[in-house]
């Protein structure tokens, strides 16, 4: 099977979707399929080259189309021509994300070439996501995006909750296929070395109980609740220290700094910036707790990564996989309130028995439900089902035409 993954951006600043595409391609190829990527240089900073693409290119073919202004919308005057060349030999196109010229161009090209496509919305049909820039999305959705979604051969979701929310937001969607995501398995010895280096780099962590937030620092992540909640935690547990790891959205930077200062948390919080590789895994190892009080979160790879390192998690019930985590006894759920977040953080960091109980349940859950080889197998089964349905439709159409 030859599959082309189409995504508006693969730059690391794009967060989870580029990681998902990368892992899908790697594991599909390990299982004997052909996988390639077409993308743009969107989100690449103006002063940065596209050298980041070389890491991907060593694993699978990837084509990068220059986008005007490197904006998330992904417009390029050469896009249609590049897409026509890219899909000449493929059996199916897997389109990732919505609300961009890129996705419009991919769907249009697939229609012209009679190549079926499936779509992973990556949470972009959740009500909270649709409420941002709502008037623009309402207009663009009704005129362009929703009709295009209904023409897809299938939808690929990460869990049942994402499918339920999407079908409520956009009735009449094509059949859905649930493909949970996975977690990488790092070299534990290298992670141990990286953890020691981080301790030396941040001496303020000495003798502290570390609480970790790792991910894109954005208003939807619930930091407006986490920061005042952590102020309560600090008053009860003075040795608690919060790590904020990840890129900060430009429009949120001043608000974040102002909030931290208003609660006098400057000396109780470390902002590490973007972390990756063994440094990222080392942060999970060092933390007593990973916290994600998001207002909306489709899957959250960071949750699964934390569980894989045996670090307990605290997450809101707006993180779509919260139910699996709670049922497995690998974490706790909080309400979207300051008091609920604070009390649950304290419950975990002040009880070694509670931490050990939650930590022990994480790795088995990941091994059983959230691993990339199984994800790739489920994805290839979904592709096969879509292609078989398309083949049957073509045969029926040919029979009716002949008759």
For the sheet with 2-9, list strands across it: 62-65, 34-40, 2-9, 92-96, 117-120, 154-157, 176-178
What's the confidence (pLDDT) of residue 225?
Answer: 98
What's the confidence (pLDDT) of residue 373?
Answer: 96
The CATH code of the domain at 188-369 is: 3.40.50.2000
Q: Quick: pLDDT tens for 325-355.
A: 999 999 999 999 999 999 999 999 999 999 9
Beta strands per DSSP E along 256-307: 269-273, 289-292
Closest residue by Cα to residue 85 from 54, 63, 101, 55: 63
Quick one: average pLDDT of 96-121?
91
Select the more confidently predicted residue: 151 or 4. Answer: 4
In whole angstroms, give the CA distance from residue 118 to residue 175: 10
The CATH architecture that domain 2-182+371-402 belongs to is 3-Layer(aba) Sandwich (3.40)
The number of angstroms, rounded, from the C-alpha of 310 to the middle of its chain's C-alpha atoms is: 20
The CATH 3.40.50.2000 domain(s) of the chain lie at 2-182+371-402, 188-369
Select the more confidently predicted residue: 45 or 215. Answer: 215
Task: Say yes or no to pLDDT of 399 above 50.
Answer: no
In whole angstroms, give the CA distance from residue 278 to residue 5: 27
Q: Quick: pLDDT tens for 34-72.
A: 999 999 888 777 777 777 888 898 899 999 988 776 555
What's the confidence (pLDDT) of residue 75?
Answer: 62
Closest residue by Cα to residue 168 from 136, 120, 137, 128: 128
Task: Say yes or no to pLDDT of 402 above 50.
Answer: no
What's the confidence (pLDDT) of residue 20?
Answer: 96
What's the confidence (pLDDT) of residue 401?
Answer: 44
3-state DSSP assignment of residue 382: helix
Mean pLDDT of the chain: 90
Q: Is 191 exposed, middle or buried (0-12, 13-18, 19+ CB in 10 A)?
A: buried
Task: Say yes or no to pLDDT of 124 above 70.
Answer: yes
Cβ count near 71 (within 10 Å):
15
What's the confidence (pLDDT) of residue 144?
Answer: 67
In whole angstroms, give the CA distance from residue 150 to residue 154: 9
């Amino acid at each position: 099977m030859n599959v082309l993954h189409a995504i508006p951006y693969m730059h690391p600043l794009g967060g989870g979707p580029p990681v998902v595409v990368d892992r899908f391609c790697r594991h599909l190829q390990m299982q004997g399929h052909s996988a390639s990527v077409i993308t743009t240089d969107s989100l690449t900073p103006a002063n940065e080259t596209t050298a980041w693409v070389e890491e991907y290119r060593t694993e699978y073919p990837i084509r990068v189309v220059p986008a005007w202004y490197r904006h998330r919308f992904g417009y390029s005057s050469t896009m249609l021509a590049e897409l026509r060349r890219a899909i000449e030999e493929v059996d199916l196109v897997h389109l990732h994300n919505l609300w961009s010229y890129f996705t419009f161009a991919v769907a249009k090209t697939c229609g012209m070439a009679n190549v079926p496509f499936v779509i992973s919305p990556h949470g972009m049909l959740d009500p909270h996501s649709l409420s941002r820039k709502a008037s623009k999305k309402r207009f663009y959705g009704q005129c362009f995006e929703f009709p295009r979604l209904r023409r897809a051969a299938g939808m690929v979701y990460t869990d049942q909750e994402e499918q339920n929310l999407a079908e409520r937001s956009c009735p009449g969607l094509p059949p859905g296929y649930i493909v949970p995501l996975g977690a990488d398995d790092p070299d534990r010895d290298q992670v141990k070395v990286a953890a020691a280096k981080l301790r030396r780099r941040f001496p303020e962590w000495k003798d502290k109980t570390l609480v970790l937030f790792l991910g894109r620092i954005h208003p939807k992540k619930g930091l407006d609740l986490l920061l005042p909640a952590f102020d309560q935690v600090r008053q009860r547990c003075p040795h608690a220290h919060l790590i904020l790891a990840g890129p900060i959205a430009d429009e949120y930077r001043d608000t974040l700094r102002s909030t931290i200062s208003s609660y006098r948390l400057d000396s109780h919080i470390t902002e590490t910036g973007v972390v990756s590789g063994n440094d990222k895994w080392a942060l999970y190892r060092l933390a007593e707790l990973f916290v994600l009080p998001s207002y909306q979160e489709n899957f959250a790879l960071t949750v699964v990564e934390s569980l894989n390192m045996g670090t307990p998690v605290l997450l809101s019930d707006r993180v779509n996989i919260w139910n699996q985590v709670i049922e497995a006894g690998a974490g706790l759920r909080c309400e979207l309130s300051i008091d609920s977040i604070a009390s649950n953080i304290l419950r975990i960091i002040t009880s070694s028995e509670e931490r050990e109980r939650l930590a022990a349940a994480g790795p088995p859950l990941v091994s059983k439900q959230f691993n990339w080889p199984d994800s790739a197998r489920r994805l290839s089964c979904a592709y096969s089902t879509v292609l078989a349905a398309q083949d049957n439709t073509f045969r029926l159409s040919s029979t009716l035409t002949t008759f």
